[in-house]
Structure formats: structure tokens, C-alpha cells
Chain A
Amino acid sequence: MTITYVRDINLEIGFSKADNFKNGRVYILQYRRFINGDEAALKEIYDEHSPLIMGLSRKLVGPEAEDLVQVVFLSAWSGRENFDPQKGSMKSWLCGITRFRAIDILRKKSRQPFSPVDNVESTTQTFNSLEVDLLVDSLVVHEALDELPEEKQRILKLGFIDQFSHSEIALKTGLPLGTVKSHIRRGLELLQKELGVSHVGI
């Protein structure tokens, strides 16, 4: 209870870069309300992020996606004091929770005895925990790239996905080499930060 005030100060002085690109003030207030236990703030967060979490859940556990989404947002609620907007975005944090809860579900499933009925019905792929990790990591990176302003996004994608060198990107975009380098360095730092918050279990 008493740490709430300290956390409020933290929320005032810094928040994740990815969220900063949007209307920072609104998000600070929303996170503060969320951490302080305002269910309306959870609903806002749910409305914004549940379609992505649902899509990820569908991919990971197929027919049990609805259950997983429910467990993810209940985990986020009960562990809301662990959310620190300075460490990464809400989206990455939620993706991280989905990662751990999906692995729980898949492990439980794999321990269940063989059922011919399930086998016939199941058309979805099942993943092991390494595959889940990789899928969630790439989603977090993809989403973090997506939140960046257009120019930074373009530069990072050219380097990251299309594997162009710094000077090739400078040539392609007409930007000074120094600008390209600093955009890429900061972009990679952001991606590392977002991946980090998605690996913290609650």
C-alpha cells in the first residue's frame, strides 16, 4: 500500500519509449489507475490490447484461446504492482504474461493421456516452450517496431529485416550516416527493453 506513492512519482518522471510516442499523459494516468486497482483502467487496457492477445492466444493454444485471454488479464490484474512503465510497454508486458500462461497450458496438455477424439479434432499446431518463446519474442519485436514513428520504423526494418548496411540505408533514405546509426542504436535498445519486459514472469 505505502509504495503506491513512490510508484506514482516514478510514473511521473518516465515511461516507456514505445508508449511515449502516443499520448504519454493519458497513458501515465491510465497506468496509475491500473496499478492502484481501478477496474475501469483494466477495461481500457483490455479494450486496447485484447485483440492482439486473443490473436496470439489463438495461435498458441487454438481452441483454448478464450480461456488463455481470461487468465492473462486476471494475472495482469493480480500482478499489477509488478508493472513498471519505465521498463517496457503494457503491450509487451501482456505478451510476456501470455507467453508464460500459454506454456503452462501446453505443458498441462502434453501430460494428458492420449485421446483419439482429441487427436482427430485437433487441427491446430502444438508448440513446445522454445517455439512459444520465439513466437512471442518476434511478436513483441514486430509490435515495438510498429509503434515507432514512420522514419525510424523504415530505417530499422531496412537494417533489421532486409539486412542492409548502415551506409546502404543512408543512401536509400537520403539521411546522414550518423542519423541512421543513432536511430538504429536507439531502436535496438528499445527492442531489447521491450523483449526484457516480456520475459519477466509475474
Chain B
Amino acid sequence: MLEYNDFSNVIRILENGDPYVVAEKPVPTVWDSIHASINVASDKVRLRVVENESKADPFVSRYLKVFALAACFVLFAFFGFFALQSSVPGSSAELLAVGSYEGLGSASLQSDTLIVEVNDLQAPPDHSYEVWLLETDASGEVVDLQTLGNINSASEFEVPAGIDTSKFSVVDISLEPNDGDTAHSGQSILRGKLT
């Protein structure tokens, strides 16, 4: 059983009376620095690090090999088709595999709709593929990102009003565990720049 003696050193301090700590509101710049550090640490660094070090889930890797073959055919057909059409409205991006992932895809922008072609990509159990638009700075670092939604449920995504696709010009497809965390998982599978 606990006794006062277990806290005797603390009691000596408390006996001498309060307050020995005076609450003090930090100046606003303290939070500003915390906020800035967090945003550098999460999106930017995480996405960058993953690009260099990502290890493919064996399941994904195997699936994407099969998928890549299929996607090649789709792509040839796709670009062949557009090559015949002399004018293509909007911009498009070829989506290439990131890091050690394998796969191919494409995305095209028609006014405020992004059409993503990745055949019938199926995620591993309890995972889904999510489409993002990334804003990068001159050095290629991600400075902001916007989700468009899960690829399982749609292949056409509405770009939210206020998202300038000349800035958010990188299409990114990530593998997301279905864990309720809405942040980017850091596992980018495919990526390409809208041109």
C-alpha cells in the first residue's frame, strides 16, 4: 500500500508553498515555429525520403508487374488514339513508378476533371489507392498536396475549386492503409507531371 513517505521528497517542496512555477503564455512565434517544423517534417520530408527508400510490398510488387504489362497496352492504345486526334483539350501526365514500385498509368485534365487511367488496379486487403495533386517548388520538393479521392471507387476526379493545376501539377497515386488517417501514407506508387 502506498504511503505518504513514498512522496516525501515531493512533500518537502509542496510544504514550502506554491506557486514555484508561474504559468506564462508563450509568444506567438513559438507556435509558429512548431507549426513550420511539423509541416516540413511530415509531408515534404516523408514524401522525399520514401521516394529514395520505399520498399514495395511483395503483394503489390507482384500485382503491379502484371498490371504494368496490361497498362502498357492500354497506354499505347490511349496515346495512339490521342495522336490521331489533332487537338487534346487540357493537359496530361504519364504516370511512372516511384522508387522500387513498378507500374504505369496516365492522367489527363479536362477543364476541372482529372481522368486517371490505371486499368482495374486492385489494392491489397485493407488498403486502397488514392489520387493526389502535389504542388512542388523549383527543387522538386513537395510544398502542398490535395487529395482527389480513392481510385477504387472512381477513375474521374473533380479538382476542387481553388486548386490551381498549374501549381498543383504533379499527379500522385499512393497506397493507403485503411486506418482512418487522412494524411498521405508516404507510399507513392505512381507519379507524373501534368504538361
A residues lining the B interface (CB < 8 Å): 1-2, 4-5, 8, 36-37, 39, 42-43, 46, 50-52, 54-56, 58-59, 65-66, 69-70, 73-74, 77-78, 134-135, 137-139, 141-142, 159-161, 163, 185, 188-189, 191-192
* Residue pair A135, B4 in contact (C-beta under 8 Å): no
Answer whether A189 and B2 are a contact pair too, CB < 8 Å, given A37-B181, A39-B35: yes
* Residue pair B23, A52 in contact (C-beta under 8 Å): yes
* Residue pair A1, B33 in contact (C-beta under 8 Å): no
Total chain B interface residues with beta-carbon distance under 8 A: 38
A161 and B8 CA atoms in complex are apart in Å by 10
* Residue pair B34, A73 in contact (C-beta under 8 Å): yes
Residue with the highest number of chain A CB atoms closer than 10 Å, among B11, B21, B41, B183? B21
* Residue pair B13, A134 in contact (C-beta under 8 Å): yes
Main secondary structure, interface of A, reads helix
* Residue pair A141, B21 in contact (C-beta under 8 Å): no
Residues of A within 8 A of B143 (CB): none
The contact sample of 7 A-B pairs, CB cut-off 8 A, is A4-B180, A37-B42, A37-B183, A51-B25, A54-B25, A78-B41, A137-B10
B residues lining the A interface (CB < 8 Å): 1-4, 6-7, 9-11, 13-15, 18, 20-27, 29-31, 33-35, 37-39, 41-42, 177, 179-181, 183, 185
A1-B181, A43-B31 given; 13 more Cβ-contact pairs under 8 Å: A39-B35, A39-B39, A52-B21, A54-B30, A58-B22, A59-B20, A74-B37, A74-B38, A135-B20, A137-B10, A138-B10, A161-B14, A185-B2
Which of B3, B24, B34 has a CB less than 8 Å from the CB of A70? B34
Residues of B within 8 A of A66 (CB): 26-27, 29-30
* Residue pair A1, B179 in contact (C-beta under 8 Å): yes
Residues of B within 8 A of A8 (CB): 180
Which of A4, A70, A134, A139 has a CB less than 8 Å from the CB of B179? A4
Answer whether A141 and B23 are a contact pair too, CB < 8 Å, given A1-B181, A1-B185, A185-B1: no
Give, as a whole number of angstroms, the nearest-CB distance from B18 to chain A.
7
* Residue pair B23, A54 in contact (C-beta under 8 Å): yes
Residues of B within 8 A of A37 (CB): 42, 181, 183
